[in-house]
Amino acid sequence: MTSTTETIWHGSEALRPFLVPIESLQTHPHNPRRGHLPSIAESLDAFGQMRPIVVKDGTIYAGNHQTLAARDLLGWTHVAVVEGSHLTEDELERFLIGDNRTSDLGTYDDQELGAILQRLADEGRLKGTGYTADEADDYLASLGKMQEAERQEFGGGYLESPQEKVDRSDLMRHAENLRDVTLIFEESVATQFGIYIRMLKHTYGTTGVADTVYKAVEDAAKAL
């Protein structure tokens, strides 16, 4: 806790009583998370600290990268903390993992996020969102492609047409080195798969399902 005039910090006034010098804290030595410091710093700069760092005996269990971004990129001398002294070492270690994992398991409502991003981008107010203007444009463009594909009549778009089935059967009879691969999905997944195939065909300039799937798998493998 501090009230010195040397304090450099920005955040909710409700957190001010819980400020401690950053130099009194240490990041967790086995934190497996790798945070993106520039985007965290941008958020802190835009909104200030809105939630406390979780510590015990000076070691940070939640907010490691928030603290690093505040210190190294914004020049803060203090952050607000809350003690996790009611938790055992075992509980704190599980909290260290769970705090990040529960966030990873979340998803987005694309339409809701898209609507907000569109408005913020139009108004030039993306600072602190974690999205650059280009990233917001790319996301909105991807939604546009999805909507365009969904508007098309879908009759199992990933399925072969009658002519494609004839061509494939004829090809298989005359090419002993070819192998047939069958993909089986539940109906809802198959519908979405068809939408993705339409999108990829448009992107790759391919015509057949096999060529499109192979290209997607090849690109993903090369990116590893």
What tokens does 127 get?
């600072």
Q: How far apart are CA 143 and CA 171, in angstroms?
A: 37
**pLDDT at residue 45, as a whole number:** 94
Tell me: pLDDT of 50 over 60: yes
140-191 per-position pLDDT tens digit: 888 875 555 455 444 444 455 566 666 666 665 665 555 666 777 665 566 6
8 A C-beta contact, residue 160 and residue 209? yes
Q: Residue 62: which H helix or E strand, with range?
A: strand 59-62
Average pLDDT value for the chain: 83
Q: How far apart are CA 91 and CA 167, in angstroms?
A: 61
**pLDDT at residue 67, as a whole number:** 97
What pTM did the predictor assign? 0.61
Q: Which range is least confidently modeled, 80-89, 163-172, 193-202?
A: 163-172
Tell me: pLDDT of 88 over 60: yes
Q: Name, in order, each residue with C-beta under 8 angstroms of 81's C-beta and a sequence gap of 6 or more.
A: 18, 19, 20, 25, 52, 53, 54, 55
What tokens does 212 get?
């499109």
Q: How far apart are CA 137 and CA 114, in angstroms?
A: 10
Task: Output DSSP code: residue 174.
Answer: H
Tell me: pLDDT of 60 over 80: yes
Strands 19-21 and 53-56: unpaired
- Alpha-carbon Rg of the chain, whole angstroms? 25
Nearest to 117 by CA among 128, 105, 107, 131: 131
Strand partners, 20: 79
Tell me: pLDDT of 75 over 80: yes
Q: How far apart are CA 18 and CA 220, in angstroms?
A: 47
Q: Residue 59: which H helix or E strand, with range?
A: strand 59-62
Tell me: pLDDT of 51 over 90: yes
Domains of the chain by residue range = 13-104, 108-151, 153-224
Q: Which range is least confidently modeled, 77-81, 200-204, 212-216?
A: 200-204
Tell me: pLDDT of 81 over 60: yes
**pLDDT at residue 164, as a whole number:** 62
Please identify, in words, the CATH class of the domain defined by 13-104: alpha beta
96-150 per-position pLDDT tens digit: 999 989 988 998 899 999 999 999 998 989 999 999 888 888 888 888 755 554 5
Q: How far apart are CA 118 and CA 79, in angstroms?
A: 33
